[in-house]
Amino acid sequence: MTVPQPPEPIPGARLLFSLDPSVSHLNHGSFGAVPIAVQRAQQRLRDEMEANPLRFFTQGLVDRIAHARRHLAAFLGADPDGTTLVGNATAGAAVVLQSLALRPGDEIVTTDHGYGAVALSVARECARTGAVSRTLPVPLTATDEEMVEIVRDGLRPGRTKLLIVDQLTSPTARLFPTAAIVAVARERGVPVLVDAAHAPGMLPVTVASVGADFWVGNLHKWAYAPRGTAALVVAPPWRERIQPLVVSWEQNSGFPVRVEWQATLDYTGWLAAPVGLFTLRSLGVDRVRAHNAALAAYGQRVVGDALGVAPERLPEPGGPAVAMRLVPLPPGVVTTLDAARELRARIADRLSAEVSIAGWNGRGYLRLCGQVYNTPDEYDRLAVRLPTLLAQG
Ligand SMILES: Cc1ncc(COP(=O)(O)O)c(C=O)c1O
């Protein structure tokens, strides 16, 4: 079989970023990369803050944050009055968990594709309240219909107080049919938190149409915002129950301001986030999406071929816009979190390539992303050199 053609490059796109040119940055998904124009916009705001901190914090900052929030909510197709800015998806999930007032015997249901840090947050909330958590196993090859069925059968109405489902999963780069899952959970009276950490910028998102009780997405991954910028969208019945992680001076201002105002923080990232959207729109949102998804598919194929993985055994992400793909590693290569971290560091050191490595259900996977600053030869080079590195153990 022939390898799919890589996409046409987006001219000049690499120059928009300050990435080290001696490294192949093939893991945009973990921490994003902030375009230079966005870095500059944030720096200008920091200059303004440092010129007169008192004026910056006390004259109009709450309104400026609200303005940025409305801009970001419009991009996401979310109700601006139901949207609040938080530092990241992990914080958004924690805000929801600790606002639920869980009691002994209540349960939280997740899937085995969930994000590790959110699972730790669930565990802590359960330990604090006496609630329990249950993880539903979902095969990597499950169809959308099967996923919906597994979730429907896994909920216990009355007892399940929250279902957490990730729209695009971190360890398995798998798209979940969140709107359909929310619909079946709603039929059973179970509230849903959609962890859409990777969705803004990568996937066409209209948050309002998902219908989730809670939805959280990072703007600092695929929407080019400064790090520390995420949106938590909350359905009307829950808004007054949502409490911030840190109580501060806006506590009595109601949702969403009381969640956003977390005392003396650097809020400049939120104010500069619309410049990230401007950059994305200038490149062409659809063009960027098509480019990134095609490049990730190309990378998956060439690295998969190099490791001897038959094309039909390469995991499919479940949707055309997904710009993150998995390549299974040979059995036994990564069986623990420590082994995954060690291999990632070794690939970075020896092959000058940043990738994600995860163990999932006893198997190791390498995750590759496509971004506008990547070129096909970066995946080709990894493909040539990775088998020898893995053989060295
Ligand atoms: C599904 C999912 N949830 C949550 C997160 C956490 O994002 P953050 O570190 O910005 O909180 C990630 C990060 O990659 C993720 O993939």
Centroid of chain to Cα 148: 21
- In this prediction, residue 1 carries a pLDDT of 57
Answer for the pair 73, 205: CB distance below 8 angstroms, yes or no. Answer: no
Ligand 1 centroid–CA 197 distance in Å is 5
Task: Give me the amino acid identity at 12.
Answer: G
Pocket of ligand 1, candidates 30, 195, 356, 367: which has the most ligand atoms within 8 Å of its Cβ, to mutate? Answer: 195
Answer for the pair 320, 21: CB distance below 8 angstroms, yes or no. Answer: no
Ligand 1 centroid–CA 49 distance in Å is 29
Nearest to 231 by CA among 252, 209, 259, 203: 259
- The DSSP 8-state label assigned to residue 388 in this structure reads H
CA distances from 190 to 30, 127, 155, 184, 214 (A): 30, 21, 8, 9, 12
Answer for the pair 214, 194: CB distance below 8 angstroms, yes or no. Answer: yes
- In this prediction, residue 120 carries a pLDDT of 98
296 forms beta bridges with none
Q: Which residues contact 145 (CB under 8 A, 6 or more apart)?
A: none
Answer for the pair 268, 42: CB distance below 8 angstroms, yes or no. Answer: yes
Overall pTM > 0.95: yes
Q: What is the pLDDT along the chain (393 residues), one digit of tens a residue?
A: 567 889 999 999 999 999 999 999 999 999 999 999 999 999 999 999 999 999 999 999 999 999 999 999 999 999 999 999 999 999 999 999 999 999 999 999 999 999 999 999 999 999 999 999 999 999 999 999 999 999 999 999 999 999 999 999 999 999 999 999 999 999 999 999 999 999 999 999 999 999 999 999 999 999 999 999 999 999 999 999 999 999 999 999 999 999 999 999 999 999 999 999 999 999 999 999 999 999 999 999 999 999 999 999 999 999 999 999 999 999 999 988 899 999 999 999 999 999 999 999 999 999 999 999 999 999 999 999 999 999 987
Ligand 1 centroid–CA 54 distance in Å is 33
Nearest to 138 by CA among 124, 152, 127, 126: 152
Nearest to 371 by CA among 30, 29, 38, 89: 29
Residue 196 alpha carbon, nearest atom of ligand 1: 1
Answer for the pair 38, 279: CB distance below 8 angstroms, yes or no. Answer: yes
Residue 93 CB less than 6 A away from ligand 1? no
Residue 89 CB less than 6 A away from ligand 1? yes
Residue 176 CB less than 6 A away from ligand 1? no
Residue 170 CB less than 6 A away from ligand 1? yes
Rounded to 5 degrees, what angle do the CA atoms 357, 359, 364 make? 75
- The span from the CA of 232 to the CA of 151, in Å, is 23
Pocket of ligand 1, candidates 34, 88, 203: which has the most ligand atoms within 8 Å of its Cβ, to mutate? Answer: 88
| Strand pairing class (107-111; 160-166) | parallel
- In this prediction, residue 3 carries a pLDDT of 73
83 forms beta bridges with 233
Q: How many CA atoms lie within 13 A of 3 on its CB side?
A: 20
Residue 88 CB less than 6 A away from ligand 1? yes
Ligand 1 centroid–CA 221 distance in Å is 9
- In this prediction, residue 36 carries a pLDDT of 98
Residue 385: CB atoms within 10 Å: 16
| Strand pairing class (160-166; 356-360) | unpaired
- The span from the CA of 374 to the CA of 10, in Å, is 10
- In this prediction, residue 51 carries a pLDDT of 98
Answer for the pair 356, 366: CB distance below 8 angstroms, yes or no. Answer: yes
Query: Long-range contacts for 179-182 (Cβ within 8 Å, ≥24 apart)?
Result: 179/209, 179/210, 179/211, 180/144, 180/148, 181/147, 181/148, 181/151, 182/210, 182/211, 182/212
**φ/ψ of residue 47, rounded to 5:** -60, -45
- The span from the CA of 184 to the CA of 150, in Å, is 11
**φ/ψ of residue 188, rounded to 5:** -95, 5
Answer for the pair 213, 234: CB distance below 8 angstroms, yes or no. Answer: yes
Ligand 1 centroid–CA 324 distance in Å is 14
- In this prediction, residue 4 carries a pLDDT of 80
Ligand 1 centroid–CA 52 distance in Å is 34
**φ/ψ of residue 353, rounded to 5:** -130, 130
Residue 220 alpha carbon, nearest atom of ligand 1: 10
Residue 89 alpha carbon, nearest atom of ligand 1: 11
